[in-house]
Amino acid sequence: MKNRLEKIDMQEEVIVEVLLDSRVTVLVMSSEFVKKQRFRLKKIKNLIYIRNVSKIFNKKRPRENTVEINIFYKEYRKKQR
Task: Please check whether residue 5 is in contact with residue 16, taking contact to mean a CB–CB distance below 8 angstroms.
Answer: yes
Q: Which pLDDT tens digit goes with each residue over 36-74?
A: 999 999 998 888 887 777 777 776 678 888 888 888 877
**Cα gap 34→13, rounded to integer Å:** 13
DSSP string covering 5-42:
EEETTTTEEEEEE----TT-SS----HHHHHHTTPPPE
DSSP 62: P
Is pLDDT of 15 > 80? yes
Q: What is the pLDDT of residue 36?
A: 92
Q: Which pLDDT tens digit goes with each residue over 33-44?
A: 889 999 999 998
Q: What is the pLDDT of residue 22?
A: 66
Q: What is the pLDDT of residue 43?
A: 92
CA-based max dimension of the chain: 37
Per the model's pLDDT, the better-predicted residue between 11 and 53 turns out to be 11
The whole domain housing 56 covers 2-80
Of residues 26, 9, 25, the one with CA closest to residue 67: 9
Number of independent structural domains in the chain: 1
pLDDT band at 75 (very low <50, low <70, confident <90, very high): confident
